[in-house]
Chain A
Amino acid sequence: MTRAQVAIRGVSQRFGVDGASVTALDGIDLDVPDSQFVSVVGPSGCGKSTLLSLVAGLRQPSSGSVLCDGELITAPMPRKVGMIFQEANLLPWLSAIDNVAFPLKLRRVPKAERLEAAARMLDLTGLAGFESRLPHQLSGGMKQRVAIARGLVQNPAVLLMDEPFASLDEQTRMVLGDELLRIWSETRKTVLFVTHSLHEAVYLADRVIVLSARPGRIVDDVPVSLPRPRTFAMTSTEAFGVLKDRIWQHIRHAERA
């Protein structure tokens, strides 16, 4: 029996831009069960990132409600929701391990305890041995691994990822995608993963949500029934191609409109 870990109910989001009201999201209904990996795709400016910032509690929807674990989200809930951004956004003056421990420091967890937890997360994300490096001494992929470790350090049930691999080169992106799936299979988080890459969306997820151009509405909810663990060979199968094509038809339609 699965329950909705993240429930988005009739959510609309309007912004005032230069006196005019712009509708970014319009009537979004989405239930994400526990441990599901959901990709969110859509044309540029469709409100994908806005949707994540609502779940993160960074802003309130103009109408509708967002619930996490049955609880209404009105402010960030750091212990339930971790977030990873397009840029690693590490604190440049803190070492890798202190960056990972940062959310615990904000919660005043004793130092020894938080460093131990952070070391475990760096281990999980394949960065054992890089604990004392400063961000500028790490490669782009390693920085993003630190950011993932930081997102996981409080063991939140939900992980929000806002185009986390978009600024990495393709090879690093593929390696990190596989790493993410490994971490996900070990931790079974509920993941909301925003991406521009249809390939990435299908490869990683159990389900792909397709949003329309502004105002963002859900135009398709595509189940991905490919077996796990996912392998690179699957990406050249017919089933993979059919899924990608189905999503692409929506996006192409929207981008042209």
Chain B
Amino acid sequence: MRRQERLFVAACVLGLLALWEAMVRLGRLDATLAPAPTTILEALIRLGRRPEVVTSLGVTAGEVIAVFLVAVPVGLFIGFTLAEVPFLGALLRPLVNFLFGVPKSIFLPIFILVFGVSIPQKIAFGVFTTVFVMIMGGIAAVQSVPRELVTVSRVYGAGRLQIVREIYVPAMAPILLESIRLGMVFNITAVLLCEIYGARDGIGYRIAAWGENLQMPQLYAALTMVAAAAVAVNEGLRLLEARLCSWRQKT
């Protein structure tokens, strides 16, 4: 975005917040349902100082990281295998495609029955949800490698490992990073869903509790925290993608 466009967007957001604030102060908006932005900001600062809230954020972050560390390598490995071994691909890809389309949330009660309401349950469910995105990403990444470049490398004497390092890795990088980004969205969504559905700690657990007790400023403050964290992860990965894949033709 150009500088002027950024300024315009920022002005719009600030304008909306100001309008919201004004409506609450003039009594046109019910403060119990939609507390004023300044009230939310106060709650945000207050919550940020409370150790149990910080601990909850840490629990959720830990679960998300654990899911990432398991789902990304496992999913990509399965994806690469399905793309590179034609026999397995023909056999299993329809199954993966079907499962990809099924909403994973319907399996949550099963995970609770198997693992109990626990941190392993959140991680297992998160992996189950995220791994399919990574499998699809792995398959797409392999398929995005131009065959001609592999031929060229062979003509110039490249061995198997050199083809992987010099052609496969850089050619797949854009799609890999994109699927990791998409995977993170599924990952965070799955972990929070688990926590809201039933948990002993985690920011999702707090969100559910504040919602049930109609503690609106706290609820909105928590939403702001989660949204900010998710956006930060997403934008961070996008930045990495832009830096590593600047060779891609801008359209």
**A-side interface residues toward B, CB under 8 Å?**
56-58, 76-79, 81-83, 85, 87, 89, 91-94, 102-103, 105-107, 134-136, 150
> Can you list, as one digit per residue, whether each of B145-163 has a CB less than 8 Å from chain A (1) or not (0)?
0101101111111100010
A106 touches B166 (CB 8 A): yes
Given contacts A89-B149, A91-B149, contact A76 B170 (CB under 8 A): no
Residue from B149, B155, B162 whose CB has the most chain A CB atoms within 10 Å: B155
B156 touches A78 (CB 8 A): yes
What residues on B are CB-neighbors of A102 within 8 Å?
153, 156, 166
Q: Does B247 contact A (CB under 8 A)?
A: yes
Which 5 A-B pairs rank lowest in CB-CB distance, beginning with the nearest? A78-B157, A103-B156, A93-B247, A136-B249, A83-B155
Kindly provide the distance from the CB of A170 to the nearest chain B CB, expressed in whole angstroms. 24
Q: Does B66 contact A (CB under 8 A)?
A: no
Kindly provide the distance from the CB of B159 to the nearest chain A CB, expressed in whole angstroms. 8
Interface size class of B (residues with CB under 8 A): 20 to 34
A57–B162 CA distance with the chains assembled, in angstroms:
18
Chain A residues touching B, majority SS: loop
What residues on B are CB-neighbors of A107 within 8 Å?
157
A56 touches B155 (CB 8 A): yes
A76 touches B156 (CB 8 A): yes
Picked from B158, B248, B249, the residue with its CB within 8 Å of the CB of A106 is B158
A92 touches B247 (CB 8 A): yes
What residues on A are CB-neighbors of B170 within 8 Å?
91, 93
**B-side interface residues toward A, CB under 8 Å?**
146, 148-149, 151-158, 162, 166-167, 170-171, 245, 247-249
Given contacts A92-B247, A93-B247, A106-B166, contact A87 B148 (CB under 8 A): yes
A106 touches B155 (CB 8 A): no
What residues on A are CB-neighbors of B154 within 8 Å?
58, 76
Please name 16 pairs of A and B residues whose Cβ atoms are closer than 8 Å in the assembled complex, sorted by A: A77-B157, A78-B155, A83-B155, A85-B148, A85-B151, A89-B151, A89-B152, A91-B149, A91-B167, A102-B166, A103-B156, A103-B157, A106-B166, A107-B157, A134-B247, A136-B248
B156 touches A92 (CB 8 A): no
A87–B247 CA distance with the chains assembled, in angstroms:
18
B157 touches A106 (CB 8 A): yes
What residues on A are CB-neighbors of B166 within 8 Å?
91, 102, 105-106
A69–B142 CA distance with the chains assembled, in angstroms:
38
Kindly provide the distance from the CB of B18 to the nearest chain A CB, expressed in whole angstroms. 44
Task: Give the residue name and chain of the A residue nearest to B163 (CB).
Answer: A106
Beyond A89-B149, A91-B166, 11 additional pairs, beta carbon < 8 A? A58-B151, A76-B154, A78-B155, A83-B155, A85-B151, A91-B149, A91-B167, A91-B170, A93-B170, A106-B156, A136-B247
What residues on B are CB-neighbors of A94 within 8 Å?
247
A56–B156 CA distance with the chains assembled, in angstroms:
9
Given contacts A89-B152, A91-B170, contact A76 B157 (CB under 8 A): yes
Given contacts A91-B167, A92-B247, A92-B248, contact A85 B152 (CB under 8 A): yes
What residues on B are CB-neighbors of A87 within 8 Å?
148
Task: Give the residue name and chain of the A residue nearest to B248 (CB).
Answer: A92
A156–B119 CA distance with the chains assembled, in angstroms:
62
What residues on B are CB-neighbors of A78 within 8 Å?
155-157
A89–B248 CA distance with the chains assembled, in angstroms:
15
What residues on A are CB-neighbors of B151 within 8 Å?
58, 85, 89
What residues on A are CB-neighbors of B149 within 8 Å?
89, 91
A89–B148 CA distance with the chains assembled, in angstroms:
7
Kindly provide the distance from the CB of B158 to the nearest chain A CB, expressed in whole angstroms. 5
Residue from A57, A76, A150 whose CB has the most chain B CB atoms within 10 Å: A76
B247 touches A106 (CB 8 A): no
